[in-house]
A and B are shown apart, each in its own frame.
Chain A
Amino acid sequence: MSDEEQPMTVSKEMDIQGTHLLYKLVSDRSEKTLDYDYKRCVGCGICVRICPTKALELGPIKEIATGMDAPPVMMDLDKCTFCSMCANLCPVTALEMRTEGDFPEEDLYPFLEYRVEMNEKCVPCSLCEAACPEDAIKLEYTFPKKEEIAPLKENAEGEIEIDTAKCNLCGICAYFCDAFLMLEREPKATDPIPFEQLIVDEDMCDYCTLCQDICPEDAIRVKGERPCEPPVVSGHVTVDDGKCTRCGWCDAVCPYDAVDLLKPFEGELILIDEHVDKCDTQGCHACFNICPSHLWYVPEDGKNIAAAHDLCTYCGACVNACPVDVMKIARSKVNHTEIPDTPWASEWKDAIASLLTKERKRADLSRALEVESEPLKEHVDIAFPEVDEDMMEKVADRMQKARDGIADPKFRRILNKGEA
């Protein structure tokens, strides 16, 4: 019997590496690892809702949102099927499935579809990088700084003026020349621009006019002498998908409509007025802490709490965390890749649909009866009767006699028909 013909054995194990909980399914011919980074997890509970076997359970989210260090989602490894629905549909890639062995191709399963990408309208400038609450955006300018092409001329004379009506605080000038300083500030959900003001230090300025040329908004006026041709603004912006939560702050601050943003879900964040009254933003900051979009704020109109709705990703973490049910989420669409025609299509369809309907169809085993297997009956050796060998020899003698008799045709005739 070759290896392939041996019945396959499957076992499960668990391991912890830092903030990662590793759940493993190991067989003699393959391995699957479900890698759960609990620090990345926002506690939205989407995986809990879709899990086909209820292997996942939401942890103490309210406590976690208010400071407790624990995984927001707990796993009953016995129940897990390693189907990877949780991984494929996690909006923040807190779960990841790694496989080794002959498993169906990845493209036979749907994935949640989302995207933050900078398009050709990107200048680039410094706003999104500075505004990103997750530190997920890296900006790299690729044009030379002023120092490199026109070193500071001492005692130069001229004038410089910033038109604050035109300046959008994009920060390109500040990267280019040390004479500019962006005065930073804490971005707010209601006003996400990360800079307060652009300041010019005229001590550092030699009125070279190059800043006037590179400013995309034509907001700088300089009287002076141009030492050389101005550089063309260039660079690239990269988004780290592992950090990005698709909250859309970058989109909110971008003056150039350069962010292609596709959120994983569409829908509505609804604040329930009568519960808003019960909200205590002094004592509780659960939603503030848990929201991956950082969209909650205390408004000035006297209400206890308000949200910058445009930033919502409709993940529902706040709903799980709020002790007084201030908000609810009504998802209207799940963006996902196509569901291929496979034996598991119907289950995946249902999982995705349950994110809209909140009803997940699961196998109903409530009537199933459990009956213990009958134990094998104990085998008791049977005692044989004693056999008298001498006696049996005598029996054999007699039989031989009879056998001789029936071989005689005359006797046989009598045996068949006549009288003995």
Chain B
Amino acid sequence: MRIGVYICHCGLNIANVINMDALHRKVGEMKDVALVKDIQFMCSDFGQEQLIEDIKENNIDRILVAACTPKLHETTFKRVLEKAGINPYLLEIANIREQCSWVHMHNQNMATRKAFDLIKMGVAKLKLLAPLQIRKFKANRDVLVIGGGVAGIEAALTLADAGTHVHMVEKEPTIGGKMALLNEVFPTNDCSICVLAPKMTDVQNHPNIEMRTYSEITDISGSVGNFTVKGIRQPRYVMVDRCKGCIDQCSNVCPVEIPNPFDSGLGKTKAINMPIPQAVPQSAYINNEYCVGCGLCKQACPADAIDFNLKEEEFSFTVGAVIVATGYQGFDAKRKEEYGYSVYPDVLTNMELERLLNASGPTRGKVVVPSTGEKPKKVAFIQCVGSRDETVDNPYCSRVCCMSSMKNAQMIKERYPDADVTIHYIDIRAAGEMYEEYYVRTQLMGINFIRGKVAEVQLDPQGQMQLRYEDTLECAIHEEPYDLVVLATGIEASTTSDPIAKMLNLTKRADRFLSIAHPKMRPVDAHINGVFIAGCASGPKEIQASIAQGSAAAARSTRLLAKGELENDPFSAYVDPEKCIGCRICEDTCNFNTIKVINGKAVVDEISCQTCGSCSASCPTDAITMPHSTDEQIIAQIRAALEVKDEFPLIIAFLCSWCSYGSADLAGTSRIQYPTNVRIIKVMCAGRVDPDFVLEALQRGADGVLVTGCRLDECHYILGNLDAKHRMENLKEVLDEIGLDPRRLRLQWISAAEGDKFAKTIEDFVDELTELGPVGSELPEVQE
């Protein structure tokens, strides 16, 4: 066996903290290591070519790369190995950047020592790796786009133009999303619907797009390449193919007036209506929350399009990839009580003002002070309502409100030149092409800007509405009357995307938006293979960015599915019939019904096995092997980590490859410092952790064992983390029984977005173990 070890400097990212010379020397002394090299950038072309050259020249047969997280370059190096003619699975990566140099910046000696441990652990596993063959399978090339807003529309059209069959599902009766409701859009002051409507029509007419409006998805199962999607279409009670969109005929006779949900109630519509004049499809629908059943619309319809007998319809189809473009919801301004929204009628939100400005809005484009019906004389915009505000748990910036307030201020000034318009801001954020110029133009139009957070909207003794605020540039407190106050309400994660996130196992950030695979490098990829996120579902962004993400998501899914074939790691569980005693525990454990006991022996359906390894951890006779994550490999890693106990306390941590490993990586990229006392072993799922691993670690001198997985209802294998929870909690009892302190085994559920939580977990565990003393110190015979 000839192992090549490559230690990457990552410029100074690793080399600045870890003593590369010492590490190089130590690794060089290891058995079976035929070659050690440290290289400036392993991922560079030079680094890769060096690897190929060395393999050929020195007969290297397996490779360890000590560098950054495997999430970044594992595939890169696998490809290199293939090029060099060795099996790509004979590769191991020691993550000495995210898990070492970036998180132990102030403890260089220990960091170097830990890096050596990590390499030792990697080599130990590497020695036991077996060559495997990549599995290929056929992938469905259709794509599902969830949400018919501007991001979804762009994604669907891009895909459809490229020849991909697209299913679009929109919950509202029309596509167009929030953009269809806007009046003008910055920085060009284009008419929003004028630029969007042609795209909406294209979606409907495109032969490659199957559009379903007024529909919701109820279930998504399967995985990349083969998702099965189920949903229901709400009855419109109007036959779309017959309705001519002459909406007046039916809605004029409809006696039921309702608040128009698309105008947040500022306008009225009828129980039979069309959401907006440019609705796609151009079809009326009966709002079944309000219809009383008078029957007149059916008589009035010249196209005989109304059918009261229509019922909810189920639909189902399969796709290879899913683009989640579920958009956002506006911050509920009522939550900021100090601004009096819904108490004072003349306090509006920016979106409501948008509707008033809109020619097809409730006032046909007139801005009026609601209480008087007069045109406004003095208008105040209050920025950051529900954004950058810890009190409502929204610490983030909503990115569009500064620009949209400036745009609406311009619109008011254009239409009512005598109106006095003031924007109360904390900071103006006008970062974008032509945005700063827009800001200057707004100022030149005579719109006032006052810096400082508004304290309160209140009534003066005469009953006139006034703002109380501090002008932080003047350092003075003012009370100023206004007849119209506009709240620049922020963008919040849409609660309607919650069920979708659940079905697809997507994770959310602390700000409740859907998290993406890498916060910088993979802006539209979800953590789940084959799922992409575009637009405001992954965070506030302006229309330009949403469109760009729609295109990007389309490109990413095309890249994934273009060949119609996907590759899969051959990691399915394998049962050794010699060892299997047919006890059926695994059959019971598998959350995917993939194991069946046939003729007294367990058999795994390799195609549907999700490779979580929970069965393997449940097997009493160790008859189930997880290729590339065998018991022997993991035990070898444990032993390597504890061969020399180089610090106290020493923790062996098992991190699931989805969320928890991601959280450790995030702690690294965020440079959150935590104690060096942990040695991490990556497993597919917390459910893979065999009780035996814990016992082995403690026996070899680990003072504590940490098992982490995704948050409890977010497991990528449905219930794998719950399996781990049961197993480990019972194991704690066992530890207690045999006299060891059960606190030495700790369980924690951490999402990929919680780097700080991971660091805190290590800190707390180290503190606790320090107090407990070394493993075994609690045993009665030791204490005597």
Q: Which residues of A contact B (CB under 8 A)?
A: 4-5, 7-8, 10, 27, 29-30, 52-53, 80-85, 101-104, 108-109, 341-348, 363-371, 373-374
Which chain A residues border B248 with CB–CB below 8 Å? 7
6 residue pairs of the A-B complex, CB under 8 angstroms, read A7-B300, A81-B255, A102-B298, A342-B293, A343-B237, A345-B288
Which residues does chain B contribute within 8 Å of A84, judged by CB atoms? Answer: 293
Interface positions, chain B 250-299, Cβ under 8 Å from A, are 252-253, 255-259, 264-268, 286, 288-296, 298-299
- Interface-lining segment among B366-374, B476-484, B517-525: B366-374
Q: Which of A5, A344, A364, A369 contacts B293 (CB 8 A)?
A: A344
CB-based nearest A residue for B236: A343
Per the 8 Å Cβ criterion, residues 82-133 of B in contact with A are: none
User: With A8-B300, A10-B296, A368-B266 in contact, do A344 and B291 touch (Cβ < 8 Å)?
Assistant: yes
Is B249's CB within 8 Å of the partner chain A?
yes
What 0/1 pattern do residues 323 to 347 of B give for CB contact below 8 A with A? 0000000000000000000000100
- Picked from A5, A7, A347, A371, the residue with its CB within 8 Å of the CB of B291 is A347
User: Given A8-B249, A109-B293, A27 and B370 touching (CB < 8 A)?
Assistant: no
Q: Which A residues are CB-close (under 8 A) to B366?
A: 371
Residue of B nearest to A78 (CB): B255
| Given A8-B300, A347-B290, also A369-B295 (CB < 8 A) | no
Task: Assess whether B311 is interfacial by the CB under 8 Å rule.
Answer: yes
- Closest chain A CB from B183 CB (angstroms): 16
A363 surroundings in chain B (CB, below 8 A): 256-259, 290
Complex: A242 Cα to B253 Cα, angstroms: 33
Tell me if A4 and B302 are in contact (CB < 8 A). yes
The 8 A CB mask of B300-313 against A (1 = contact, 0 = none) is: 10100000110100
Q: Which residue of A lies closest to B292 (CB)?
A: A83
* Interface mask (B229-257 → A, CB under 8 Å = 1, otherwise 0): 00000010100000000001100110111
- The answer on a CB contact under 8 Å between B259 and A102 is no
Any A CB within 8 A of the CB of B135: no
Instruction: Name A30's contact: one of B286, B299, B362 (CB within 8 Å).
Output: B299
- Chain A, Cβ-Cβ closest to B267: A368
Name the residue of chain B whose CB is nearest to the CB of A350.
Answer: B289
Given contacts A4-B302, A8-B253, A109-B293, 11 further A-B contacts (CB under 8 A): A8-B252, A81-B292, A81-B294, A103-B299, A345-B288, A364-B265, A365-B268, A368-B265, A368-B267, A369-B373, A371-B368
Contact of A29 among B257, B259, B265, B299 (CB under 8 A): B299
CA A52 to CA B287, docked complex, whole Å: 14
Q: Are B290 and A5 in contact (CB under 8 A)?
A: no
Most buried by A among B249, B259, B286, B290: B290
Residues of A within 8 A of B370 (CB): 367, 369
The complex places the Cα of A27 from the Cα of B298 at a distance, in Å, of: 13
Per-residue interface assignment for chain B, residues 630 to 644, with 1 indicating a CB less than 8 Å from any chain A CB and 0 otherwise: 000000000000000
Closest to B366 in A: A371
CA distance A82 to B300 in the complex (A): 16
- Kindly report which residue of chain A lies nearest to residue B312, judged by CB atoms: A341
Q: Which residue of the partner chain, among B249, B288, B363, contacts A343 with CB atoms under 8 Å?
A: B288
Task: Please give, as numbers and ranges, the residues of chain A lying within 8 Å of B563 by CB-CB distance.
Answer: none
For the complex, give the distance between the alpha carbons of A84 and B296 in Å: 13
A104 to B253 CA separation, bound complex (whole angstroms): 16
Task: Return chain B residues, CB-CB under 8 Å to A5.
Answer: 302
A367-B293 contact, Cβ under 8 Å, with A81-B256, A108-B308 = no
Residue of B nearest to A101 (CB): B299
In the complex, whether B579 has a CB less than 8 A from a CB of chain A is no
Q: Which residue of B lies closest to A372 (CB)?
A: B373
Candidates B252, B265, B267; contact of A7 at CB < 8 Å: B252
Q: Give the docked Cα–Cα distance between A5 and B303 (Å).
A: 8
B257 and A365 within 8 A (CB): yes
Q: When the two chains form their complex, are residues A104 and B295 in contact, meaning their CB atoms are under 8 A apart?
A: yes
* Min CB–CB distance B600 → chain A (angstroms): 52
Known pairs A7-B248, A345-B288; A368 contacts B296 (CB<8 A):
no
Q: For residue A347, which residues in chain B have a CB less than 8 angstroms away from its CB?
A: 289-293
Q: Flag whether B441 is at the interface (Cβ < 8 A).
A: no
Any A CB within 8 A of the CB of B136: no
From the candidates A80, A341, A348, name the one contacting B311 in the complex (CB within 8 A): A341
Across the interface, A367 reaches (CB within 8 A) one of B265, B290, B299, namely B265
Bound together, the chains give a CA A85 to CA B249 distance in angstroms of 24
In-complex Cβ contact of B249 among A7, A83, A369 (8 A): A7
Which 9 residue pairs spanning A and B have beta carbons closest together?
A344-B293, A83-B292, A81-B255, A8-B300, A103-B295, A371-B363, A343-B291, A343-B286, A367-B265
Known: A8-B299, A52-B256, A82-B255. A367 touches B291 (CB 8 A): no
> Bound state CA distance, A30 and B300, in angstroms?
10
Which residues of the partner chain B approach A343 to less than 8 Å between Cβ atoms? 235, 237, 286, 288, 291, 293, 308
| Residue of B255, B258, B289, B300 with highest tally of chain A CB at under 10 A | B255
CB within 8 Å: A-B pair count: 119
8 Å CB contact of A369 from B235, B267, B294, B300: B267
Q: State whether A367 and B249 are in contact (beta carbons under 8 Å apart), knowing that A52-B292, A347-B290 are contacts in the complex.
A: no
Residues of A within 8 A of B373 (CB): 369-371
* Interface pair B299/A365, CB less than 8 Å apart: no
B348 to chain A, nearest CB (A): 10
Distance between Cα atoms of A409 and B373 in the complex (Å): 71
Determine the chain B residues whose CB is within 8 A of the CB of A52 once the complex forms.
256, 290, 292
Give complex CA distance A83, B256 in Å: 10
- Complex Cα distance A85/B293, Å? 9
Residues on the A chain within 8 Å of B252, using CB: 7-8
Which residue from A7, A8, A367 sits with its C-beta under 8 Å from B259?
Answer: A367
Q: How far, in whole Å, are A84 and B256 apart by their CA atoms in the complex? A: 14
Query: Are A104's CB and B293's CB within 8 A?
Result: yes
Minimal Cβ-Cβ distance residue in A for B362: A369
Nearest CB in chain A: distance from B259 CB, A: 6
Interface contact A367-B345, CB-CB below 8 Å: yes
Pairwise interchain contact B259-A82, C-beta atoms closer than 8 A? no
* Chain A CB within 8 A of B364 CB: yes
Contact with A along B360-396 (1 / 0, CB 8 A): 0011101010100100000000000000000000000
Instruction: Give the CA-CA distance A4 to B305 in the complex, in Å.
Output: 13
CB of B291 to closest CB in A, whole Å: 4
Give the Cβ gap from B515 to chain A, nearest Cβ, in Å: 36
- What's the Cα separation between A102 and B255 when bound, in Å? 17
Q: How far is the CB of A105 from chain B (nearest CB, A)?
A: 9
User: Does the CB pair B292–A344 fall under 8 Å?
Assistant: yes
For A348, what are the chain B residues with a Cβ–Cβ distance below 8 Å? 292-293
Chain A residue nearest to B363 (CB atoms) is A371
Chain B hits for A103, CB < 8 A:
295, 299
Instruction: Give the chain B neighbours of A27 by CB distance below 8 A.
Output: 253, 296, 299
Most B CB contacts (10 A, CB to CB) among A104, A343, A374 go to A343
> In the complex, what's the smallest C-beta–C-beta distance from B284 to chain A, in angstroms?
12
Looking at the assembled complex, report how far the CB atom of B626 sits from the nearest CB atom of chain A, in whole angstroms: 50
Tell me the minimal C-beta distance from B231 to chain A in angstroms: 19
A365 contacts across to B, CB distance below 8 A:
257-259, 265, 268
Residue of A with least CB distance to B369? A369
Chain A contacts for B290, CB-based, 8 A: 52, 347, 363
The interface residues of chain A lying within 8 Å CB-to-CB of B266 are 367-369
**Is the beta-carbon distance between A342 and B308 smaller than 8 angstroms?**
yes
Query: Are A10 and B253 in contact, CB atoms less than 8 angstroms apart?
Result: yes
Bound complex: CA A366 to CA B364 (Å):
19
**A108 / chain B contacts, CB cutoff of 8 Å:** 293, 308
The CA-CA distance from A373 to B258 in the complex, in Å, is 20
Q: How far is the CB of A26 from chain B (nearest CB, A)?
A: 11
Asked if residues B364 and A371 are in contact (CB atoms below 8 Å), the reply is yes
Q: A366–B295 Cα gap in the complex (Å)?
A: 26
Please measure, in the bound complex, the distance between the C-alpha atom of A108 and the C-alpha atom of B368, giving whole angstroms.
43
The listed residue with most A CB atoms (<10 A of its CB), out of B237, B267, B368, is B267
Question: Are A368 and B259 in contact, CB atoms less than 8 angstroms apart?
Answer: yes
- Please report the C-alpha to C-alpha distance between residue A143 and residue B356 in the assembled complex, in whole angstroms: 80
Distance of A345 Cα from B235 Cα, bound (Å): 13
Q: How far is the CA of A105 from the CA of B321 in the complex (A)?
A: 46
Report the bound CA distance from A335 to B422 in whole Å: 60
Which residue of A has the minimal Cβ distance to B287?
A: A343
